[in-house]
Chains A and B, each alone.
Chain A
Amino acid sequence: MIKEQELFPKANLAPPRHAGTIERYEIVLDRSKCTACGICSEVCPQFIGTAEIDYEAFKKPSGYIRLVNPKSLCAGFVCQSCVKRCPTGALTLGLNPEYAALGDRRWTADLIFSTWEQAETGRLSKRYEFDIGHSGGGFDRLRFDFELDKYGACEKIFEENEIDTSIVLNKRRDGKPKIEIPIPVYGADMSFGSVSLNVMLARAMAAKAWNTFTSTGEGGYPDELVPYKDHVITQVATGHFGVNAETIKRARIVVLKYAQGAKPGLGGHLLADKVTPEVAKMREVVPNISLFSPFPFHNVYSVEDHYRHVQLIKDINTKALVSVKVSTPIDVDMVAIGSYYAGANILQIDGGYGGTGAAPDIAKKNISMPIEYAIPMVHNYLVREGVRDEMVIMASGGIRTAFDVAKAIALGADGAVIGTSELVALGCKRCGNCERGRGCPSGIATTDPVLKHYINPKWGAQRIINLYHSWKGQWNGIIARLGLVNIRELRPSGEVKFEKGRFNHLVHLDHMG
C-alpha cells in the first residue's frame, strides 16, 4: 500500500496553449437599441464587457454585435443581471452555438472543458458536468447511490488524502514482480506515428511522476523514451512494427495486442499521410504508404497457440508481466479464461467505443460491444471459474472520467486504461481529424514537423499529472462516501448481479424498480 502522499506529484498550474476560449453562454447586443450607457458592465458580477471591449464593439457600423467576454465566467440563465437591468432591452442571453458544436454525445463540451480545467489546475470546479456524457446508455445512465449531492460530496473530501487507491498488477503466484501503482489507471497504447513523440514523452513523464505506466503502442520504441523505460509498456501487435527482443526486454510489462476496441477484427490503420520518413524508420517500412497491421496474429489460432505466444514473451523477458489486450466479442469471457490458462497476468478488455487514430466508421459503431457489458461478463465468468483473484482485469475503451473508472471497478474491473482523456488533457477537442493530412490541429495526433511542437513535453506531462491529481481526489471522495477504505474494496468479490437496477452501490437509471 502506498500511503505517503509526498510521493505523489504536485499539481501545478498548466494554462492552456490557447489565448481564447469557448463560452457556454453568449450575450447578443442589439446595437440599434443600445445607448452605450454601460450599466451592463457595472451590474455584471463577473465584469462582462469591460470598457475597452465595448468600445471595440460600438465602433462598428450596424447589425448585431456580440458583447465579447474573453475569459469571463458568465453564469448564464441563473444570473441575467445585465439583461434585466438594460434600460432599452438591447441584450439577449442565449446558448453559444459553438459550445453545442464542440464535442459529441459521448464527450460532451462540458466533459471536454471539465477535463481541460482539471488539467490546468488539478482541481474540480462546479462549472461543468464532469462525470457523465449524454450517450443515453452505459456509464451515462449508471450512478453511484450517493450521487444526489455529488458536487458537495467530492469537494469536501477532496483534501482528505488518507484513502488508498493503489492496485497491484500481478496477482498470480508465478514469481514475477508485484507491481503496484498508486492510482487504478495507466496510459493506453498509442503508437509513434499515430501521436507525436512529444505526446509520448509527455505521457511517459506523467506516468513516471505518478509511478504508473504508459504504452508504446504498435509503432516502435523511440530512443527518447528509454529514460522512462520503467514506466513504459512495450506493445507487441500484429504488424510487429518496430518490435524486437531488445524492446521487449526493456519493459516491466509487455502487452500482446490481439484487438483494439474501435476496430476489432480489422487490425491497425495508419494512413499514408502520417507515415513520414521518421515514422517509417521507426517502423522499418517505406514512407508515404498506408500501413495496415494484419489481423489477427497468424501464429495464434487457438488457446494452445495463445499459450505459446504468451510463453514466447516470458521466455524473452523473464521478469515482465504479460498483459493481453483483447476486445469484446460475444464470447469475451471465454477469451478471458483462455488468457488465464495461457499465463497472462493482466487482461485488458477494450470496449467497442474506444479511441483510435484511424478506423472505419462502420467498425467504430457496429463491431463488438461496449465495455460496460464486457466487464461484468468477464468478471462473473472468472469468478465462476474460481480464478478471478489471480487475474487483473483492466478496462478500457470509452472510459472518460474518474467516475467512469470508479463505475468500471464497481462493475468488476480492477482498474482502467486511459487514452482519450489524457489526450483531452493535452488539448484534444475530439474533432476526429487525426487520420489524414497533417494530422491533428492541436498538435497531438500528428507527425507534422511544425504541429508537433504545439505540445511541449513538460507542459503536457504537467497537464496529465494535474488531471490524475483531480481524479485521485474524486476517487478519494467516492471511496470515503461509500464508507470504504481503499479502492480495491469497491470491486465486487462475488458475481455482479443487478437487482432492480441496483448492485454494489451502483444504480442504473433505466432499470430502477
Chain B
Amino acid sequence: MDEIAAFIKPRPKSVAAISNIFLEETASQETKHIFERYRIEVKEAPPKFKIPSKFLVKRYNNCVNLQECVEACIYGVHKVREDGQIAEPLSDKCRGCHACTLACPKSAISVMINPEFEKLGNSYFTPERLEAIYYEAETGRIPVSGAGYGGPFSGRGFDGIWFDFSEIVRPTRDGIHGREYISTSVDLGRKLPHLEFDERGKMVSDVPKTIEIPIPIILDAPTTSGAGIGLQLALAKAATTLKTFSIVNAKEYSDDLKSYMPNLIPRIGIDRLSEFEELVRKARIVEVEPEGSKIDVCIRSLKEVNPSALISIRSKYDERSGERAEAFAKGGADIIHFYVDDAIVEKDPDVVKNAIQRTHSYLVYKNIRDEVTFISGGGIAEASHVPKSIILGADAISLGLAYQIALGCKICYGNEHSLDCQIKVEAKDVDWASQRILNLVSSWRDQLLEVLGGMGLREVRRQRGEIGRAMFCHEIEERIFGGME
C-alpha cells in the first residue's frame, strides 16, 4: 500500500484524486491479496573501511597561486584557503577530468592514477571491478557513466561474451522502470521430466518439492573462518530480507542464527552427520560436500533425518564435472552446487566459463537437466557475471568473494586472514554489513533486469542455457577475420 501511495504522490492533482478513489476501494478489500512486487529496500551504507581514491592530485611547489585550477575544477578539488593561498588538493573529489592541469599555465599540477588504487584487488578482481562493487554496495544503484566503453576489446572467460538483445522484430521488456514485470525467480529442487496419470486421469506422479527464491543468487559461506559470528548474522539477515538462502558452515553455527533458520543452508561434512542431526532436522536445504563415492548413502541418511529437506551437493569443478553431476542427480541430489576457487579463476578466467557450459551441456545430453538445480559459484566479480553464468547453463549463482569485497575484503585468499582480515563484523555493524550486501544484490538484480529486458525475456528461468542469444567473441572473430565459415 505504501508503495502505491508513494508512487502516486508526485502526480498532478486530478490523477491523484482518481487514484485515491481506487485506493479507498482496494483498501476496503482484503489487503493481503494485493499482489506484492518483489523489491529490495536500498539504503545508503557508506564504507567503514578506507578506500583509496582513484586519482591522486599533486601540486608541485612551482605553483605561484594563479588559482586557475580553482575556477577550472567543477568538483571542488581545488579550494582557496582563508589566507588567499590555494589549499592542498582534495584527491577524493577528483574525477579525473584533467581540467586543472590543462588550465595551469605553470604546469604545477599533476593528476595521476593513485598507486594505492592500482594495487587494489588482483588481475581478475580488477581495481575497476572493486570500484564498481564499492559503489553498488554503498548506494544500491546501477553504475551509470558517460562516454563510450573504454576497456579492452574482449577477453577471456566471461569477458569474451556479449549478450544479444531484441531489435524491431522481438520486443524488449521494460523491466527496470517498472512498466513490465520481469521475474527473476528461480526454483531450487528437482523437477519431473513429465507427469504420469492413471486411466481415471488422476495424477500418480509424486511431484517433488521445490523452493522458489526471488533472485537467482544465494549467498555462499565466507571463505575465511576468521570473520566471526557478526558476518554470519549479517549474511543470514540479508538472506532473510532477500528471501533467498545463505550457506553456513555447520561448525560455525550458533544459536544466534536460530531465528534465521528458514533461510539458512547448513553445510555439513559427510562424516559428521550424527553431530548435526538437530540442524539437519530444522533446515529446508542441507548442503554436503562428498568425499569419495558415498553419495547415495549419504543422501539416504540425510533424508532419513529430514525427509522434506532438499539436498544440495557441493563439489569443485573439474574435467569430469558433467559426469559427476549426472552421478549426483541419479544418487538423489536436488541441487548441485559446483564451485571453483577464485584464485584459480584469476589464473585462468576461462575455467569457470568452460566448466559451466560443459556441466550444463552434459546434463542436457543425458536428458536429466531439469531433474536437478545447478548452482555455480566462483569467478563472479561483477553484475554481468550473473546473467553470463545463467546464459551458459547455471540455474543460479552463489555469491562468495564479491560480498566480502563489499565488506572490505582485500582478497588474500585466506593466506593472511589470521593476521589482518579486514572483514571482522562487530555486533554493532551487523545491520550495516547486511545493508551493504542488500545494496549490492539489489543493484545486481536491477542490472540483471536491464539485461533481461534488453534481451526481451520475461523471466530469468528462460535465460538458462540460451547460448543462442549470447555472442562468443572467439567464434565471431574466427568467422569474420579467421576465414572460417
Contacts and interface: CB of A to CB of B under 8 A. Distances in A.
Interface stretch (B293-301, B362-370, B447-455): B447-455
B6 interface: no
Interface centre among B72, B107, B456, B482 (most CB of A within 10 A): B107
B167 interface: yes
Interface residues of A, number: 114
A126 interface: no
A168 B152 CA distance: 34
A334 B96 CA distance: 41
A209 interface: no
Interface stretch (A61-69, A117-125, A210-218, A244-252): A61-69
B168 A326 contact: yes
Given A137-B153, A356-B148, A330 B97 contact: no
Interface in A126-160: 135-138, 140-141
Given A65-B60, A441-B99, A358 B146 contact: yes
B102 A271 contact: no
B61 interface: yes
A510 interface: yes
A68 B106 contact: yes
A265 B454 contact: yes
Interface stretch (A432-440, A465-473, A477-485): A432-440
Interface stretch (B41-49, B108-116, B339-347, B416-424): B108-116
Given A65-B61, A68-B107, A330-B164, 16 more contacts: A16-B102, A18-B102, A19-B104, A20-B105, A56-B106, A137-B473, A262-B148, A267-B174, A302-B168, A332-B167, A360-B143, A366-B451, A431-B97, A445-B146, A496-B480, A498-B481
A63 B61 CA distance: 10
A106 B144 CA distance: 19
Contacts of B104: 19-20
Give the one of B147, B153, B471 with max A CB within 10 A. Answer: B147
B470 to A, nearest CB: 8
A356 B147 contact: yes
B165 interface: yes
B165 A442 contact: no
Contact of A433 (B97, B103, B163): B97
Interface string B152-176: 1110000001111111110110101
A327 B383 CA distance: 22
Contacts of B72: 441
B105 A369 contact: no
A101 B55 contact: yes
Contacts of A510: 477, 481
Contact of A97 (B112, B132, B171): B112
B179 interface: yes
Interface in A480-498: 496-498
Best-buried of A294, A496, A511 by chain B (most CB within 10 Å): A511
B23 interface: no
A214 to B, nearest CB: 18
Interface string B62-94: 101000100011110000000000000000000
Contact of A66 (B60, B74, B143, B469): B60
A498 B476 CA distance: 13
Interface stretch (A35-43, A75-83, A226-234, A370-378): A370-378
Contacts of A97: 110, 112-113
Contact of A498 (B108, B152, B480): B480
Contacts of B388: 366
Contacts of B161: 366
Contacts of A271: 144
Contacts of A23: 107
B151 A435 contact: no
A508 B478 CA distance: 11
B62 A370 contact: no
A500 interface: yes
Q: Which of B111, B163, B450, B453 has the most CB of A within 10 A?
A: B163
B303 interface: no
Given A360-B447, A367-B163, A367-B451, A354 B148 contact: yes
A136 B483 contact: no
B107 A70 contact: yes
Nearest to A296: B172
A112 B34 CA distance: 56
Contacts of A259: 165, 167
Contacts of A355: 147-148
17 contacts: A20-B103, A53-B62, A60-B62, A66-B60, A66-B107, A264-B165, A271-B144, A326-B167, A327-B165, A362-B384, A367-B165, A373-B476, A377-B480, A429-B98, A435-B144, A445-B146, A510-B477
Contacts of A353: 148-149
A368 interface: yes
A101 B169 contact: no
Contacts of A434: 145-147
A65 to B, nearest CB: 6
A53 B106 CA distance: 9
A497 B478 CA distance: 11
Given A365-B151, A435-B146, A296 B450 contact: no
Interface in A318-370: 326-327, 329-332, 334-335, 338, 352-370
B165 A368 contact: yes
Nearest to B469: A330
Contacts of B101: 20, 22, 98
A478 B108 CA distance: 41
Interface string B299-326: 0000000000000000000000000000
- Interface residues of A: mostly helix, strand, loop or mixed? loop
A101 B112 contact: yes
B142 interface: yes
5 tightest A-B contacts by CB? A434-B146, A265-B454, A137-B153, A104-B150, A265-B165
A295 interface: yes
B95 interface: yes
B165 A398 contact: no
A96 interface: yes
Contacts of A19: 68, 102-105
Given A20-B107, A295-B172, A355-B148, A329 B142 contact: no
B107 A365 contact: no
A102 interface: yes
A269 interface: yes
B192 to A, nearest CB: 33
B73 A441 contact: yes
A285 interface: no
B102 A335 contact: no
Interface in B373-409: 382-384, 388
Contact of B483 (A20, A264, A500): A500
Interface string B106-128: 11101111000000000000000
Contacts of A57: 62
A47 interface: no
A19 B383 CA distance: 41
B150 A369 contact: no
Contacts of B37: none
B450 A363 contact: yes
A508 B481 contact: yes
Contacts of B105: 19-20, 70
Contact of B168 (A306, A372, A497): A306
Contacts of A329: 164-167
Given A20-B101, A295-B172, A441-B72, A135 B151 contact: yes
A501 interface: yes
Interface string A272-304: 000000000000000000001011101011110
B163 A442 contact: no
B177 interface: yes
